[in-house]
Amino acid sequence: MGAVLAVNAGSSSLKYALFGPGETPARLLSGKFERIGQGGPADHAACLDPLLRQVAAGGQTVSAVGHRVVHGGPTYVAPTRIGPDVVAELRRLSPFDPEHLPAEIALIEAVSTALPNAPQVACFDTAFHRDLPRVSRILPIPRKYEAAGVRRYGFHGLSYESLVEQLRRGPGGIPRRVVLAHLGNGASLAAVLDGRSVDTTMAFTPTAGVPMSRRSGDLDPGLVEYLARTEGMTPAQFHEMVNTRSGLLGISETSSDVRDLLAREKDDVRAAEALAVFCHRVRQAIGAFAATLGGLDLLVFSGGIGENSPELRQRICDGLGFLGAAVRVLKTDEELQIARSTREIVGL
């Protein structure tokens, strides 16, 4: 039985891992390409050749390929085997997520050329949130837009699936009321009741929610009109600003990396304020989700910041002791989740 290749494309990075057979498969190799995407979707597809050379050098055969696909829109709510019809639908859905979907489509097509006999599976980040109750799903705008697919979708679903699976397999299983905090370059939180997502901070796009490294998180919609009138800012320019020049970078004016900001905060009020805003908004989201869940049994931190910054975890938790929740740190594994779903769909 050959190996499964998991491909995890971000807007400016590409992570990959090759897994052997079994329920808990061995990770045969893994790696990451960073600072790509400036040349468009072709940058991601260009990473495939060196990736496959590494696979071949290890003497491995790829039996199937699983892809993280960030947005499934209203169409896809579970992992799906990829064929021409799926690629065509993803192209139609590209306006839902122009930062990710074009690169992911380019990778799918590049794999089809390089590995024509290997089945491919799309694993959607939005799928974890497919059972959101309507009160969480509906956006407070004219109802006609919901018919066009404009609603809260939520993201980081593969990470959340990984965390839920780890909790289920652990001693005592998964608690009833859990808040999952995936805090990395992209950051979001999910309220999980009996193992299912009932609310989440990201919405129609991954820009919504808490402030992130470069994304703004939630903003007053009136800013669009104000900046258009005062600075002549176009919708495209506003989109670029809130996705690449805001968040921690926008407030600090120096860095989007919390490690840099922690090192500078004693001497740079901008760095200190960026971290304070981040922790404040994440703390607010935890409190709000505790209200949604009717209490909180467990708070889980994950993602690059959540896993590796005990100082920020402590700042976020300050003042939340009244919730009486346990706190855990878990390492998420999106690639393993992709590989498991891929094996299940293709029957390996």
- CA dist 80 and 21 (Å) reads 20
> What pLDDT shows up at residue 42?
83
Q: Where are the domains of the chain?
A: 3-124, 157-329
Fold (topology level) of 157-329:
Nucleotidyltransferase; domain 5 (3.30.420)
Domains 3-124 and 157-329 share a fold: yes
Phi (first) and psi of residue 226, to 5 degrees: -60, -50
> What pLDDT shows up at residue 1?
62
> What pLDDT shows up at residue 237?
97
Identity of the amino acid at 129: H
> If you write DSSP's letter for every residue of 62-102 in order, what string do you get?
EEEEEEEES--TTT--S-EE--HHHHHHHHHHGGG-TTTHH
Phi (first) and psi of residue 326, to 5 degrees: -75, 155
> What pLDDT shows up at residue 99?
87
Contact (Cβ atoms closer than 8 angstroms) between residue 120 and residue 111 = yes
Verify whether residue 125 is a known catalytic residue: yes
Identity of the amino acid at 301: F
> What pLDDT shows up at residue 348?
83
The one catalytic residue in 125, 199, 268, 333 is: 125
Identity of the amino acid at 196: R
Structurally, at CATH architecture level, domain 3-124 sits in: 2-Layer Sandwich (3.30)
The residues of the chain scoring below 50 in pLDDT are none
Phi (first) and psi of residue 207, to 5 degrees: -80, -25
What is the value of pTM for the model shown? 0.95
- Candidates 73, 75, 67; CA nearest to 44 is 67
